Structure 1
Amino acid sequence: MILAANAAVGVITETNAEKALEELRAYQADVATVLRNGCFSILPATELVPGDIVEVGVGCKVPADMRMVEMLSHQLRVDQAILTGESCSVAKELDSTSAMNAVYQDKTNILFSGTVVVAGRARAVVIGVGSNTAMGSIRDAMLRTEDEATPLKKKLDEFGTFLAKVIAGICILVWVVNIGHFRDPSHGGFLRGAIHYFKVAVALAVAAIPEGLPAVVTTCLALGTKRMARLNAIVRSLPSVETLGCTTVICSDKTGTLTTNMMSVSKVCVVRSVHQRPITDEYSISGTTFAPDGFIYDAGELQLEFPPQSPCLLHIAMCSALCNESTLQYNPDKKSYEKIGESTEVALRVLVEKVGLPGFDSMPSALNMLSKHERASYCNHYWENQFRKISVLDFSRDRKMMSVLCSRKQQEIMFSKGAPESVMARCTHILCNHDGSSVPLTMDIRNELEARFQSFAGKDTLRCLALALKRMPEGQQSLSYEDETNLTFIGLVGMLDPPREEVCDAVQSCMSAGIRVIVVTGDNKSTAESLCRQIGAFEHLDDFTGYSYTASEFEGLPPLERANALRRMVLFSRVEPSHKKMLVEALQSQNEVVAMTGDGVNDAPALKKADIGIAMGSGTAVAKSASDMVLADDNFATIVAAVAEGRAIYNNTKQFIRYMISSNIGEVVCIFVAAVLGMPDTLVPVQLLWVNLVTDGLPATAIGFNKPDGNIMTVKPRKVNEAVVSGWLFFRYLVIGAYVGLATIAGFVWWFVYSENGPRLPYSELVNFDSCSTRQTSYSCSIFEDRHPSTVSMTVLVVVEMFNALNNLSENQSLLVIHPWSNLWLVGSIILTMLLHMSVLYMEPLSALFSVSPLSLAEWKVVLYLSFPVILIDEVLKFFSRSSRARLSPLRLWRREILPKEARDN
């Protein structure tokens, strides 16, 4: 029944996980606009074949791998994040690349299946469908990767094999030792004697085998998945819960995991005045997501109470709202703000909302009263209602800018945005933040702005845009490239895909726990290094040489240097899908336990190969199907919390294994000693089964609820080849087990020799019970079939195991430190177990089924006297464990300090 119940728990848990994943998989457009029979029509994407001409536009999912054949707009930009991992969209063109081994990012004339068009329209010819696409080949590589057993499963299998051999040896030994008793008259012949002691050996096997262990392990892992689900970690594979606990390296995707995958304006630079020399104002903008919440701070880190009072900030908001083709909206299902279109433009939309509107001194309180749907674009809509958009000059690669012509009260203004070098080259004036006046752009001012731009783009690795405007002749209704001259510079905007706020602390927690974090990204090296510096991955390093590698640099290293590089690597940039899988395999060859995170199709093979693959909740279906765990909140910090949970689960697993094995050793000692001494059966097989499955199983399951130790994330991960049961731990099993067995036998002997309700036999009569029928005795030989002695021994076994369960609240901490009520589930399971045992003792027909009888008060006192010392014995063993650790810790630290740094790193 327990096996069935626990199997049901496991099935329900994994079913719930799969159901949650199905809800996360609601993505992918299934249709395409295809040229058929001389006209374009919408057909299912599954009907596409190579050679079809397909038209794509803004918002379209690319239905197949296609080569560009016709551009229907000035530009076409595609978001390839699910394939390459890069958050910035890629500009596509008709010309093919000349590079022989071009990576996906460089194939600018190819549209890849599953990617999204964020700007422009084009037509392309289908060159690959299904498994013949870039994503299809990645999926095939993932399917060719075989699953491997988790560390816990390997060690439990090894321990099970060892336990089986020991049990078999003991059973054979018991049978062989009693060969001389086969001919005892009580057995009725040699053959019957042999069969009798064969039954004893079977009873011994029943006692030794922890029948409830598989069920308890499954239940503990299932309970772990429930706790992880509360942390937003959905576990797809129960064994992977424990694997997190021994993880030594986390290979984390940058975009969307360490960062928000939401471009955000972080800095703005404008010119304040130019009286004697150019003076600039630099503003910092808070907020790391698309949520229109945040504040603007000046260079002194003072918050601006009313940003629209700054003429340049007001014009930046105006230009950002009007020179923009993307949209910010609120998704009530996901309860978050999301983009429609280009990330860069949406970042500008968010900036507009943070700057606010002119003339509203109480605007923040007024905005707080809006619904989230209205708040998403309230300020943007204000500017769009103030101006009428007349004409648009789309972005082009040669100009590196776009412009819009707007009209307001019969006044025409052109707003422009683009690469700083392109926009500034077309500017002749600047807007002063001091008074809103327009003054000529001198060389000194230009040099100052150039220096600011270099600072933004260099040290801060921000993606920079320059904003400008130009007053146009009244009545102008169109724009041409010639109009993009004599512009007035408004300001410089720096944006980035910012790190999540909680990532820094999570990375530090990993370092404290002895877990390396390797950032893996398709982004360029300088951008990725800047992120690593922000999140503390490089700690206090100034020189990243030997810690940061691009994929091509790493592949070019000799084998020995590559092995050394793996031990120090912090950043792996400009990677392709094959590089990620190669990295996982290389780390595993160094006996590292690797967790790999990812969200795109490009991550799937590496997720499959890793010891534990972690997919993002917003990721692709392919990535989720390859993973062992899914982060519903796409948050790296959730991984760290899950690692702590995994370590706690492993510790609790060791505790209930210790509890169950020491209890089973006690049963083995009881039966073995009784058989060797020639005493009657102290316990019958049905009693042993009851103890093993029910009275053992409930407390063992409850031990899985033990609270984690306070230092769980300050110790190093256990080694992958570390045994579940160490030599010292096995010695503790034997000591506790020996006492459990001897206490059980003592209760049996007490009833026969000392109990007022017993026969008070001499000890010699008890150990020679099998010759009772051949001797003259003052008692009936049927006394050896009485239920009372086995009832006393069974009750001693149950109660001593309940006390032993309390011992397993912690491996080394005293019960004076960790009180029983720290795990109320364990206290409840002990109470329930005792109630079940009482029902067996005092209720028919259960007492007859288990061959027991009720106990008197005096007998209960003896049971408690024999049972309680197990706590005192384990307290002594815990004291020795703590003392040995205290002595070894300084020695280990000293030995580590005298080693060379290279050896310590290894």
Structure 2
Amino acid sequence: MSATPDAQAAARTAQADGLPQTDTATGLSAAEARTRLTRFGPNAIAEQTVPVWRQLLAKFWAPVPWMLEAVIVLQILLGRGLEALVIAALLVFNAVVALVQEQRAKDALALLRRQLHVNARVLRDGQWQQVPAEQVVPGDVVHIRAGDIVPADLVLLDGAVSLDQAALTGESLPVDAGSGKPAYTGAIVRQGEASGTVSATGAHTYFGHTAELVRVSNAPSHMQRTIFAIVKRLVLFDVVLVALVIGFALWHHLPLLDTAVFALMLLVASVPVALPATYTLATAVSSQWLAHRGVLVTRLPAVEEAAAMDTLVSDKTGTLTQNSLRYAGAVALAPGADENAVLRAAALASDDATQDPLDLALLAPARERKLLDDAPMRTAFHPFDPATRRSEGVYTVDGQTWRAVKGAATVIGPLCHLDAAQQAALEAAEQQLASSGARVLAVAAGTDEALQLQGVVGLSDPPRQDAADLIAQIAQLGVRVCMATGDSEQTARAIGAQLGLGDRVCHIGAGKTLDPSQCDLYARVLPEDKHHIVAALQKAGHVTGMTGDGVNDAPALRQAELGIAVASATDVAKAAAGVVLTDPGLSGVLTVVRAGRQVHRRMLTYTLNKVLRTLEIVIFLTFGLMLTGHFVISPLLIVLMLFANDFATMSIATDRVRPAALPQRWQVRKLMGASMVLAGLSLLFAAGLYVWARAQGLGPAQLQTVVFLILVFGNQAGIYLLRSDGPLWQLAPSKWMAAASVGDLVVVCLLAGLGVLMAALPWFVVGTILFATVVFTLLLDVLVKRPLFRYFAIA
């Protein structure tokens, strides 16, 4: 921390210098906060954007544009200025379309990020309240605790916290901070809690920028890796065909420049030019749809990954239960103690400032019974820490230090040095309350030397009314739901029985081998245990989803294929997760699974059609050259065909599809196998149409137009053939897909019939090719597609 100024230096440069000192007992007034917000602006940093013209130029600097630019140069050298101009125009058009689609996706992400508010606890008008971090102003009194991201530069007033500032300073070890010490924007609170006054906000913070809280992962998803694996195979196959073309050209003394152009175009035909735009658009459209249904996507690949999830590990509190803890009674175990004595001790080990539901559930009944009216003076408070699994209030009673402690029975019991009879009584009392599904805490009180077990308290958190039904619906989609809870085995089994989860309870322990197939419920789970659970499931071959809400859940949320931050999650959990639920319960999980399978279906259509058309195009063009001795299509028409096909395939991202009934995984061999069968049949059909066209007495240039139409019409037909497992007429396409198809066909037919950019064809020939393609596609749908899909287990 040598590069970090001390609290005094920070105060000298703070934005809050010159402002009246804030009354730390009441905080700012609402009116004063509004005035300072107007004066200093929102607590946010304006994002730096890349100019649109630079984004557009970047579209021309990549392998596919390089190959097309080389074709343009070669066309100019061959004296074909018109062809070079048209290819250049198409290249620009494609770049503009890709830029527009990416901008739409970025706008969607920006909308989602605006909904992922980071909140701050501030003291205003004497009341603690939560406000969006953007509304924090200099002079505000802010309370931070474990799991928070520090919303602004603070000078701490009281308490103690352990801060992870690795993202800001590069230091890997947490930094301890207490009264008079600074806490900087973007630091993660790992342990403890404290209050402080805001010294700087927004661009005026010491580090000059707020850490980006929600990052979009650029790591490729399973779908992207699968498609790129397929493309590698296609490119290798094309390299072999290119070698054949070059050898044939040299043997027959064909023009070298023309051959070079043709070879380049074969390679271009294998590259999924529209993949990035189609994938980004498909996931962005689904993300926007999800946002309107209470699910915010923080990483686009998470949408598609949801399609493959087959196991979901869910938190209990707030996700499966109502998260409305209520005092359910107490069992006194100390001599002379009664229920009120146990409740009073538990309340003295609690604090309002933590806003912990456990603490609030105990404080409310204690105050109603006036048990805290004569509370002793508190000198310190240690909030609940997952590492120690207890909270503690320190008081002064008769001049001596007196402690009230509450926490897990396995933790409190050893602190009280129980004998065998006392331990048996504690276990019996715990089991008595836990058997009803209540969460049980042990309570102890006394001096440091004589801490005495007072009893146990039960806190009920009944299951959500919709939880059992949602679990059943998720199970119908082929996803097994397990529950992870810090509660005892009895509590976990009682809740699991009510929800229909099963009754096999597992414990996570050091050195224990975990067999996830034998676990329906995980009891006494520490937050750090969740990472172990996820890793064990993944090792067993499961694609895993994990719900979480705390800072210690972040590793598990990042490890899981689908990390899900629940509605009450901390900022750190939201940053680590792939999706964030804004509504309590599991309804959002059901929604995101269905949306993920819809995206998978759309991209499956894209992938199958891409492989099918690539094989058909490159084989047809290569063997067309070798059998006829001349190029069966011009480079200009190849480029025009590719862009016409990409324009149609990009509309797949908006298509109306039915989600699959079971989890979906990408299997390259099966996809390639099905595509090769369909490509073989399509080649025979294309060859037959070409032979028919030659018999009509058409010239070489017109035959090139025929090839162009065959390949464009075939691509359109392939999209509709492959978009569903059932008959292609059962499910209507989306309006955008229908419009793209109609527009594409109309333009292509007009170009061919009028002879624009290609040799004109008789309208009879254009109509015959279109009609024959429709009939052939229907035959494939009825006779081939469905048995083929069943054989290769497609979708």
TM-score, L = length of structure 2: 0.61
Amino acid at match of 1:253: D
Structure 2 residue runs without a partner (length 5+)? 1-92, 125-134, 150-158, 165-177, 194-210, 331-346, 379-405, 407-428, 442-456
Q: Confirm whether residue 834 of structure 1 aligns to residue 741 of structure 2.
A: no
1:339, 1:134 → 2: CA distance? Answer: 16
Aligned to 1:518: 482
- The Cα shift of 1:151 comes to 1.7
Partners of 1:689 and 1:827 lie apart in 2 by 23
On the 8 A contact 2:548/2:557 being kept in 1, the answer is: yes
- Equivalent of 2:242, from 171, 175, 179? 171
**Contact 1:608 / 1:627 at 8 angstroms: preserved in 2?**
yes
2:727 to 814, 837, 843: 814
Query: Separation in 2 of the partners of 1:194 and 1:871?
Result: 42
- Alignment CA distance shift 1:214-1:688 (3 Å): farther
Cα pair 2:102 2:281 within 8 Å, conserved = yes
1:428 match: none
Matched, 1:726 2:671: yes
Q: 1:207 to 1:180 in 2, by over 3 A?
A: same
Q: How does 1:788-827 map to 2 (within 5 A)?
A: 788-810=702-724, 812-815=725-728, 818-819=729-730, 821=732, 823-827=734-738
Q: Paired residue for 2:84?
A: none
Aligned 8 A contact 1:3 1:215 in 2: no
Q: Does 1:753 align with 2:695?
A: yes
Distance 2:101 2:314 in 1: 31
Give the aligned partner of residue 102 of structure 1. none
Separation (CA, whole Å) in 2 of partners of 1:835 and 1:870: 19
- Structure 2 Cα separation of the partners of residues 390 and 701 of structure 1: 67
Report what 1:596 is aligned to: 546
Residues 679-690 of structure 1: pairs in structure 2 closer than 5 A: 679-690=629-640
- For 1:876 and 1:267, how far apart are their aligned partners in 2? 68
Match of 1:735 among 672, 676, 680: 680
Structure 1 residues 868 and 601: alpha-carbon distance in aligned structure 2, compared to 1, 3 A threshold: same
The structure with the largest alpha-carbon Rg is 1
Query: Per the alignment, in what secondary structure is the counterpart of residue 134 of structure 1?
Result: strand
Cα separation, 1, equivalents of 2:611 and 2:481: 37
Q: Which residue of 2 aligns with 1:201?
A: 263
RMSD: 5.0
C-alpha spacing 1:517/1:645, structure 2 compared with 1 (3 Å): same
Q: 1 CA distance for matches of 2:243 and 2:617?
A: 17
Conserved in 2, the CA contact under 8 Å of 1:252 and 1:520? yes
* SS of 2:604 mapped into structure 1: helix
Q: Cα–Cα, structure 1 residues 394 and 836, in superposed 2: closer, same or farther, change >3 Å?
A: farther
Retained in 1: the 8 A contact 2:279–2:653? no
Describe the shift of the 1:556–1:611 C-alpha distance in structure 2 as closer, same or farther (beyond 3 A): same
Hey, what does 1:25 align to over in structure 2?
117
Answer yes or no: is the 8 Å Cα contact 2:612–2:676 preserved in 1. no
State the AA in 2 paired with 1:344: A
Q: 1:455/1:340 Cα in 2 relative to 1: closer, same or farther (>3 Å)? A: closer
1:532 Cα deviation from its structure 2 partner: 2.2
1:565-580 aligned within 5 A: 565-580=515-530
Does structure 2 conserve the Cα–Cα contact (< 8 Å) formed by 1:525 and 1:574?
A: yes
Shift of 1:206: 3.2
Change (3 A) 1:698 1:500: farther
- For structure 1, list consecutive stretches of 5 or more residues without a partner in the other structure: 33-43, 49-58, 65-79, 84-108, 115-123, 188-192, 269-322, 329-337, 350-379, 398-418, 420-452, 466-492, 759-782, 890-906
Between the aligned partners of 1:593 and 1:343, the Cα distance in structure 2 is 37
1:499 aligned residue (463, 467, 488): 463
| Equivalent residues of 1:45, 1:63 under 8 A apart | no
**Which letter maps to 2:361?**
T
State the secondary structure of the residue aligned to 2:121: coil
Preserved contact between residue 657 and residue 731 of structure 2 (Cα < 8 Å): no
Q: Distance in 2 between matches of 1:157 and 1:689?
A: 22
**Secondary structure class of the residue paired with 2:522:** strand
Q: Does 1:215 align with 2:273?
A: no
Q: Give 1:700 deviation, angstroms.
A: 4.9
CA distance in 2, matches of 1:218, 1:724: 25
Cα distance in 2, alignment partners of residues 521 and 2 from structure 1: 52
Q: 2:506 aligns with which of 530, 533, 548?
A: 548
* Matching residue of 1:237: 299
Query: What whole-Å deviation, never above 9, does each CA across 1:754-782 have from its counterpart, x for those lacking one?
Result: 24xx4xxxxxxxxxxxxxxxxxxxxxxxx
In 2: Cα distance, 1:741 partner to 1:640 partner: 44
User: What per-residue deviation string (whole Å, max 9, x for no partner) do you get for residues 416-461 of structure 1?
Assistant: xxx9xxxxxxxxxxxxxxxxxxxxxxxxxxxxxxxxx999824213
After TM superposition, the structure 1 = structure 2 runs for residues 92-491 of structure 1, keeping only pairs within 5 Å, are: 134-135=190-191, 149-182=220-253, 193-263=255-325, 343-344=360-361, 392-394=373-375, 457-462=433-438
Change (3 A) 1:147 1:10: closer
The C-alpha deviation readout for 1:834-866, integer Å capped at 9, x for no partner, is 1232453467xxx54x32436423542354235
**Secondary structure of 1:509's aligned partner:** helix
Work out whether residues 597 and 613 of structure 1, in 8 Å CA contact, stay in contact via their aligned partners in 2.
Answer: yes
Contact 1:659–1:700 (CA under 8 A) maintained in structure 2: no
Opposite residue 459 of structure 1, the aligned amino acid is S
Aligned length: 576
User: In 2 relative to 1, CA 344–617 (structure 1 residues): closer, same or farther, beyond 3 Å?
Assistant: closer
The 3-state SS of whatever aligns with 1:168 is helix
Aligned residues of 1:250 and 1:594 also touching (Cα < 8 A) = yes
Change beyond 3 A, Cα 1:344–1:841: same
Q: 1:618 & 1:209 partners in 2: Cα distance? A: 44
Matched, 1:535 2:499: yes
Contact 1:599 1:618 in 2 (8 A): yes
Cα distance, 1:264 vs structure 2: 5.1
- Per-residue CA deviations over 1:864-903 (Å, capped at 9, x if unaligned) read 23553133134321242366589x99xxxxxxxxxxxxxx
CA distance in structure 1 between the aligned counterparts of 2:281 and 2:218, rounded to whole angstroms? 22
Task: Report what 2:5 is aligned to.
Answer: none
* 1:615, distance to aligned residue in structure 2 (A): 1.5
Distance 1:211 1:577 in 2: 44
After superposition, the C-alpha distances for 1:400-421 in whole angstroms (9 at most, x for unaligned) are xxxxxxxxxxxxxxxxxxx9xx
**Within 2, Cα distance between the matches of 1:536 and 1:494?**
23
Measure, in 2, the Cα distance between the counterparts of 1:735 and 1:727: 12
CA contact (8 A) 1:529 1:571 kept: yes
My pick for the range that moved more, 622-631 or 833-842, is 833-842
Cα distance change, pair 799–726 in 1 and its aligned pair in 2 (3 A): closer
DSSP 3-state at the match of 1:853? coil
How far is the alpha carbon of 1:244 from its aligned partner? Answer: 0.9
* 1:177 counterpart letter in structure 2: F
What secondary structure, in the 3-state scheme, does the structure 2 residue paired with 1:25 have? coil
In the alignment, residue 181 of structure 1 is paired with which amino acid?
A: H
Q: Secondary structure at the match of 1:537?
A: coil
Q: Is the 8 A contact 2:307 2:664 kept in 1?
A: yes
What does the per-residue CA deviation read over 1:583-623, in whole Å, with 9 as the maximum and x for residues that have no partner? 33333333332222212222122222222222234422212
How far off its partner does 1:736 sit?
Answer: 4.2
Q: Tell me how far apart the structure 1 counterparts of residues 775 and 188 of structure 2 sit (CA, whole Å).
A: 70
| Contact 1:548-1:569 within 8 A present in 2 as well | yes
Q: 1 CA distance for matches of 2:301 and 2:479?
A: 20
Measure, in 2, the Cα distance between the counterparts of 1:327 and 1:8: 53
| Aligned residue in 2 for 1:444 | none
Per-residue CA deviations over 1:498-528 (Å, capped at 9, x if unaligned) read 3222221232233333333232333344333
Percentage of pairs with the same residue: 20
- State the AA in 2 paired with 1:819: Q
CA distance in 2, matches of 1:251, 1:159: 32
Q: Which residue of 2 aligns with 1:76?
A: none
- CA separation of 1:852 and 1:598: change in aligned 2, threshold 3 A: farther
CA drift of 1:671 comes to 0.9
How far, CA to CA, are the matches of 1:132 and 1:793 in structure 2?
Answer: 61
Counterparts of 1:196 and 1:515, CA distance in 2: 55
